[in-house]
């Protein structure tokens, strides 16, 4: 048992010292708490009147307070208090270094816990399990059964998915063959067979990609990461550990937080990711360069790239996976372009947890020919299923001007395809101020009602996880830092209110398109969301009655869209006809890979 004097050496703030006093008293120590706002002389007189083992002083720092505390220490010394008692200072801006500088025996600051103080006084090690140690990898899909609550919509999706799967039967592409070659390459050790496979792979690639893989002639701005760089990175990651680990989520029911990685350089991405992990980010999405979508074939190896998007070679994904905490989720974008099956395969083999596939958005908003992406996408979903890797379905076609109902209908088609192919999927409706919404005024009054309606509509249709993105608050953010952080935070609070499973958040420089995202801007938005989650806690934002009519409209229009889609023989036919987004909406079927679907028989 120790004798402890607790001193709120502050005109107002004494909550912290009261909490500490209560804990110490509960643990059997003899404690006394002085009233706040005593003069320095009165405190010294009281401290000298009895014998104490510890004098705990609580103080916030302001102008001139450092000098005041130094003088206080001198007075305690002169009164002989320090002969028996250790003098401890605590307060938000206090660090051990500052405490020592001011002459105190110990200091506790913002990141100290009451356990730390108890451990110091009792001379024991603090019982602190770090948040990092506690982390368990979440499974976003585990609580869902993918049953369709809306009978008619479920029936329509069933027919659309069956028609599409039948249409794709017997069809193949160079993308599928490359994924099969890659799979064999990953398994074989025979050098002769490897050579044969690599030669065949190169023959299925565009010359730019084949030259990079065989002659090491890379497109401008791409180079191998050197062994020296890898060695330095690994050494740095071994040397540095997160301190004062924090959590974004105020409670475990709040959505998981994802961020994009795609600076171009895996080393830069990894360092950003490690810092974001410290602040509580739960997962990352690797975003590849947009040009990768246009070429047949992928460049292999550990590669860095001067421009937007990190090359999703198996080696790069594996490097990033290895550097991340084992509980951090990693998803790899595969939803567009001519390499969807191989990217999904590489993601699975490199240890990614999720991949990103959307046959509709990849065709309508991301440039790939609908026929090609449907054949490739179905194969990719099969690969995902084989590796028990769920796929998330981004609804970013809304940004092209596609009405939300059509975009959501597209997501649901992917869910049904996944269900039929035994793959689990995650719905990603946008929380955005999209062109169709701007033109039609659904968000004229607020950003709450229509975003909430999207969630309610999807929930009324299917039992599946929901992860708004991508990122939330798209088209509401500007290049002004606080405005951007606020929009992210408000939308995050709304997401938490609606009980969704995860969200993707932007950085405060996301709207700035002339350079890469910086780590400081990532931290800005993480801090904003952390505060938003603390603010909303287990309460919720209340939408107005307009949400009900928005929800009804969305469900009705999703059904109407699907009634239209079902008239066509296949999904590509429906996409080309504009059933899931027309030229008038601003959506154009893509052309990458047009005419490249082959009959496998």
Partner 1 sequence: MSALNNVIDAVDVETYLLCNDAHDGHRLALQLGNEMNLGNVDIMFEEYDGYGVRVRIRKYIHRPAQKYHWLESESQ
Whether the CB-CB separation of 412 and 462 falls below 8 Å is answered with yes
Shortest Cβ 274–partner 1 spacing (Å): 11
Contact between 287 and partner 1 per CB under 8 A: no
Q: Is 235 in the site for partner 1 (CB under 8 A)?
A: yes
Question: Strand 86-90 to strand 54-58: parallel, antiparallel, or no bridges (unpaired)?
Answer: parallel
Q: Tell which positions 492-511 bind partner 1, by CB under 8 A.
A: 509
Return d(Cα 404, Cα 427) in angstroms, integer: 13
Separation between Cα atoms, residue 597 and residue 601, nearest integer Å: 12
Segment near partner 1 (CB under 8 A), from 58-66, 130-138, 304-312, 537-545? 304-312
What's the CA gap between 219 and 576, in Å, rounded?
A: 32
Selected from 166, 232, 444, 583, the binder of partner 1 by CB under 8 A is 232
Residue 226: DSSP 8-state: P
569 neighbors 163 (Cβ within 8 angstroms): yes
Applying CB under 8 A, does 216 fall inside the site for partner 1?
Answer: no
Stretch that binds partner 1, among 201-209, 229-237, 412-420, 499-507 (CB under 8 A): 229-237
Q: Of 116, 211, 229, 548, which one interacts with partner 1 (CB under 8 A)? A: 229
Nearer to partner 1, 286 or 380 (CB): 286
Task: Select from 66-74, 231-239, 312-320, 342-350 the region that touches partner 1 (CB under 8 A).
Answer: 231-239
Least distance between partner 1 and beta carbon 184 (Å): 31
Q: Considering CB under 8 A, how many residues would be counted as binding partner 1?
A: 35
- Name the residue nearer to partner 1 (CB basis): 382 or 481: 481
Q: Interface with partner 1 by CB under 8 A: which range of 28-36, 95-103, 232-240, 593-601?
A: 232-240
Is residue 307 a contact partner of residue 257, using CB atoms and an 8 Å limit? no
- Interface with partner 1, residue 305, by CB under 8 A: yes
Of the candidates 262, 251, 258, the one whose C-alpha atom is nearest the C-alpha of residue 316 is 262
Binding mask 306-345 for partner 1 (x = CB under 8 A): xx--------------------------------------
Alpha carbons 4 and 55: distance in angstroms, whole number:
6
Draw the binding track, 553-582, toward partner 1 (x: CB under 8 A; -: no contact). ------------------------------
Least spacing, CB of residue 490 vs partner 1, in Å:
19
Answer for the pair 330, 349: CB distance below 8 angstroms, yes or no: no
> Which residue, 4 or 265, has its beta carbon nearer to partner 1?
265
Q: Does 274 bind partner 1 (CB under 8 A)?
A: no
Beta carbon of residue 486, minimum distance to partner 1 (angstroms, whole number): 14
Q: Which stretch binds partner 1 (CB under 8 A): 116-124, 261-269, 382-390, 485-493?
A: 261-269
Give me the 450-479 binding string for partner 1, x by CB under 8 A, dash otherwise: ----------------------------xx
Give the residue with the Cβ less far from partner 1, 41 or 479: 479
Does position 480 bind partner 1 by CB under 8 A?
yes
Closer to partner 1 by Cβ: residue 269 or 501: 269
**From candidates 146, 218, 291, 512, binder to partner 1 by CB under 8 A:** 512
Number of H helices, E strands in the chain: 23, 18
596-600: long-range contacts at Cβ-Cβ below 8 A with a sequence spacing of 24 or more?
A: 596/173, 596/174, 596/296, 596/338, 596/369, 596/372, 597/171, 597/172, 597/173, 597/371, 597/372, 597/375, 598/171, 598/172, 598/173, 598/174, 599/170, 599/171, 599/172, 600/170, 600/171, 600/172
Residue written as token pair 């979508």: 293
Q: How many CA atoms lie within 13 A of 6 on its CB side?
A: 23
Residue given tokens 């049904």 in the structure block? 416
Q: Which two tokens stand for residue 177?
A: 């063959």
Tell which residue, 404, 360, 398, 405, has the closest CA to residue 557.
405
Out of 516, 527, 534, 566, which residue is the one contacting partner 1 (CB under 8 A)?
Answer: 516
User: Binding of partner 1 at residue 514 (CB under 8 A)?
Assistant: yes
* Orientation of helix 151-168 relative to helix 370-386, angle to 10°: 100
Q: Which is nearer to partner 1, 264 or 418 (CB)?
A: 264
Cα–Cα distance between 75 and 69 in angstroms, integer?
A: 10
Q: Does 272 bind partner 1 (CB under 8 A)?
A: yes
Check if the beta carbon of residue 409 is closer than 8 Å to that of residue 395.
Answer: no
**Which part of the chain contacts partner 1 (CB under 8 A), choosing from 13-21, 224-232, 439-447, 531-539?**
224-232
Q: How far is the CB of 24 from partner 1 (least distance, A)?
A: 40
Q: Name the strand (E) or helix (H) holding 2.
A: none
Residue numbers at the binding site for partner 1 (CB under 8 A)? 221-223, 229, 231-233, 235-236, 239-240, 263-265, 267-268, 271-272, 304-307, 478-481, 509, 512, 514-516, 518-521
């Amino acid at each position: 048992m120790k004798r402890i004097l607790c001193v709120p050496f502050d005109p107002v703030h004494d909550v912290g010292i009261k909490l500490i006093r209560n804990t110490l008293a509960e643990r059997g120590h003899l404690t006394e708490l002085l009233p706040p706002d005593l003069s320095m002389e009165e405190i010294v007189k009281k401290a000298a009147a009895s014998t104490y083992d510890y004098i705990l002083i609580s103080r916030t720092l302001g102008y001139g307070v450092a000098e005041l505390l130094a003088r206080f220490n001198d007075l305690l010394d002169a009164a002989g208090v320090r002969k028996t008692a250790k003098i401890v200072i605590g307060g938000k801006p206090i660090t051990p270094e500052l405490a020592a500088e001011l002459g105190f025996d110990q200091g506790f600051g913002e990141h100290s816990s009451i356990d730390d103080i108890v451990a110091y006084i009792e001379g024991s090690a603090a019982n602190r399990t770090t948040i990092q140690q506690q982390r368990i990898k979440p499974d976003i899909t585990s609580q869902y059964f993918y049953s369709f609550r809306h009978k008619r919509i479920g029936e329509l999706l069933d027919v659309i998915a069956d028609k599409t799967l039948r249409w794709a039967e017997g069809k193949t592409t160079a993308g599928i063959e490359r994924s099969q070659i890659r799979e064999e390459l990953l398994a074989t050790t025979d050098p002769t067979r490897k050579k044969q496979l690599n030669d065949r792979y190169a023959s299925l690639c565009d010359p730019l990609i084949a030259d990079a893989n065989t002659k090491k002639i890379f497109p401008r701005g791409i180079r191998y990461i050197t062994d020296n760089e890898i060695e330095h990175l690994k050494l740095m990651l071994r040397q540095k550990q997160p301190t004062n680990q924090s959590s974004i989520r105020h409670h475990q029911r709040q959505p998981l937080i994802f961020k994009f990685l795609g600076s171009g350089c895996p080393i830069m991405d990894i360092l950003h990711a490690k810092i974001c992990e410290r602040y509580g980010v739960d997962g990352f999405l690797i975003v590849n360069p947009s040009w990768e979508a246009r070429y047949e074939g992928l460049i292999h190896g550990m590669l860095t790239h001067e421009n937007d998007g990190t090359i999703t070679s198996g080696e790069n994904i594996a490097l990033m996976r290895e550097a991340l905490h084992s509980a951090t989720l990693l998803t790899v974008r595969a939803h567009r372009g001519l390499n969807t099956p191989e990217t999904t395969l590489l993601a699975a083999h490199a240890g990614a947890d999720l991949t990103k596939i959307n046959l509709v958005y990849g065709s309508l908003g991301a440039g790939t020919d609908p026929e090609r992406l449907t054949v490739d996408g179905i194969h990719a979903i099969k690969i995902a299923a084989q590796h028990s890797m769920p796929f998330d379905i981004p609804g970013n076609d809304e940004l092209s001007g596609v009405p939300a109902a059509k975009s959501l209908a597209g997501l649901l088609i992917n869910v049904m395809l996944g269900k039929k192919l035994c793959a689990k999927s995650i719905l990603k409706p946008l929380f955005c101020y999209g062109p169709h919404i701007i033109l039609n005024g659904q968000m004229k009054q607020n950003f709450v009602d229509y975003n909430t309606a999207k969630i309610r509509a999807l929930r009324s249709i299917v039992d599946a996880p929901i992860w708004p993105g991508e990122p939330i608050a798209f088209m509401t953010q500007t290049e002004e830092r606080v405005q951007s952080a606020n929009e992210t935070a408000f939308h995050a609070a709304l997401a938490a209110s609606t009980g969704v499973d995860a969200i993707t958040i932007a950085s405060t420089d996301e709207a700035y398109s002339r350079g890469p995202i910086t780590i400081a801007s990532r931290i800005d938005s993480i801090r904003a969301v952390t505060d938003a989650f603390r603010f909303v806690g287990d309460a919720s934002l209340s939408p107005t009655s307009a949400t009900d009519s928005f929800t009804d409209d969305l469900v009705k229009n999703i059904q109407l869209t699907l009634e239209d889609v079902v008239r066509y023989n296949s999904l590509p036919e429906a996409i080309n006809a504009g059933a899931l987004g027309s030229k008038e909406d601003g959506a154009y079927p893509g052309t990458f890979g047009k005419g490249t679907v082959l009959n496998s028989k």
